[in-house]
Amino acid sequence: MDFSDQNRWLHRFAVISAVATWILIGIGGLVTSHGVGMAVPDWPTTYGYNMFLFPPSKWVGGIFYEHSHRLFASFVGLLTTVLAIWLWIKEDRRWIRWLGVLAFFGVVAQGVLGGLRVTLMIDSLGIFHAALAQLFLVLLSIIALATSVWWKKWVMTAKTIPITDSMWTANAFVTFLIFGQLVLGAAMRHQHAGLAVPDFPFAYGKVWPATDPAFLEKINRERIDVMDPNPITAAHIQLHMAHRIGALAIVISAGWLAWRNLRAAGTSAVNSRFAIGLLGLILVQAAFGVFTVWSNKAADVATGHVMIGAICLVVSSLFCLISARCGSVAFTVRAPMDSENGSALSVLQSS
């Protein structure tokens, strides 16, 4: 398959869809950061109006964030639908066509999940809604990568990159950690318990905070928060501390991953650049996490933390995909022949 203008536009459209999804995650983050997820009590209508006809004059207070989230989600739904149809018609590779179908059903499921979170008033659905949003972004990013010229050209030369199976496993491990960390973060945000641990680097002045009933009663008595969140429980503190430990584990793992790639392939190799870039993003994300605590969970900072977390997951996932492709290519090329055999190339060209 050569890359006609049609394919280039398809790739650009996939990129736009992925970027729009990332922005949508940001708007959703603002909804949760401002504590206004229930500001519009009905769905799919908005205060009884057709969602698209809700008068701007009524976008007051938290309604502004929640309604914007709904409208932008509809826009992403439209983009995804067009992308799925476009892929089905124009894309030769069957696995990418099916990714488009998966994306379509994913965006529908995500929309319904968001609606049910409002109408059923179940907080925990918000956690699934947030986690699915991250996975959906990864899916669109994979489509965007796989439809790029770069992917096709790079796959053709991938055999020159020395990625081993163990390095792929390391990438997958870091990706898994990041996703787990994002789920932990979503769980924290949707507990409506505010900052369960309000200081950093210590936790209530200690390495590990107390969680006995007397201590919990004391901190809840002394906490003055205009949003009057639920009282802090031992589970909230443990969840918060798990998120901190997860962050530390990810920083160490990403550093180790970068070191391994650099040692194996040098600084100029694609995988090394990916690994260094991912480490840089992880460090920025960690800084945002710290600042989220220091800013008393300011809405813009907390939302920035969510958005950078999403980028970390995307980069790590794409790196994982590239590593997997690279590993299989290297294996194919190494296997019975050590030269650029025709059968090996045919595998590459169908990727």
The answer to whether 55 contacts another protein (rule: CB under 8 A) is no
The answer to whether 231 contacts another protein (rule: CB under 8 A) is yes
Of the ranges 56-64, 170-178, 194-202, 319-327, which one interacts with another protein (CB under 8 A)? Answer: 56-64
Closest contact distance (angstroms) between CB of 221 and another protein is: 5
Residue 149's nearest CA partner among 2, 45, 285, 328 is 2
Residue 171's nearest CA partner among 284, 278, 283 is 278
Read off the tokens for 132: 């699915």
> In terms of CB distance, is 117 or 260 closer to another protein?
117
Window 188-227: residues binding another protein (CB under 8 A): 217-218, 220-227
> In terms of CB distance, is 149 or 235 closer to another protein?
235
The answer to whether 173 contacts another protein (rule: CB under 8 A) is no
> In terms of CB distance, is 47 or 259 closer to another protein?
47
Closest contact distance (angstroms) between CB of 224 and another protein is: 5
Of the ranges 57-65, 77-85, 167-175, 265-273, which one interacts with another protein (CB under 8 A)? Answer: 57-65
Residue 71's nearest CA partner among 44, 109, 105 is 44
Of the ranges 33-41, 105-113, 258-266, 307-315, which one interacts with another protein (CB under 8 A)? Answer: 33-41
The answer to whether 35 contacts another protein (rule: CB under 8 A) is yes
CA distance linking residue 61 with residue 241, whole number of Å: 32
**C-beta atoms surrounding 49 within 10 Å:** 13
The answer to whether 157 contacts another protein (rule: CB under 8 A) is no
DSSP 231-273: PP-HHHHHHHHHHHHHHHHHHHHHHHHHHHHHHHH-TTSHHHH
Of the ranges 5-13, 40-48, 204-212, 244-252, which one interacts with another protein (CB under 8 A)? Answer: 40-48
Closest contact distance (angstroms) between CB of 62 and another protein is: 5
> In terms of CB distance, is 94 or 221 closer to another protein?
221
The answer to whether 44 contacts another protein (rule: CB under 8 A) is no
Report the residue count for the chain. 351
- 3-state helix, strand, coil split of the chain in percent (to 5) is 75, 0, 25
**C-beta atoms surrounding 25 within 10 Å:** 23
Residue 82's nearest CA partner among 177, 164, 9, 188 is 9
The answer to whether 121 contacts another protein (rule: CB under 8 A) is yes
Of the ranges 36-44, 82-90, 159-167, 319-327, which one interacts with another protein (CB under 8 A)? Answer: 36-44
Read off the tokens for 211: 């969680």
Binding string, 76-115, against another protein, x = CB under 8 A?
----------------------------------------
DSSP 61-112: THHHHHHHHHHHHHHHHHHHHHHHHHHHHH---HHHHHHHHHHHHHHHHHHH
The answer to whether 234 contacts another protein (rule: CB under 8 A) is no
Of the ranges 30-38, 96-104, 240-248, 257-265, which one interacts with another protein (CB under 8 A)? Answer: 30-38
Closest contact distance (angstroms) between CB of 94 and another protein is: 45
150 Cβ partners below 8 Å, 6+ apart?
none
CA distance linking residue 239 with residue 230, whole number of Å: 15
The answer to whether 48 contacts another protein (rule: CB under 8 A) is yes
DSSP bridge partners of 203? 206
**C-beta atoms surrounding 78 within 10 Å:** 13
The answer to whether 42 contacts another protein (rule: CB under 8 A) is yes
Please give the residue ranges that form the binding site for another protein (CB under 8 A). 34-42, 47-48, 58, 60-63, 118, 121, 217-218, 220-228, 231
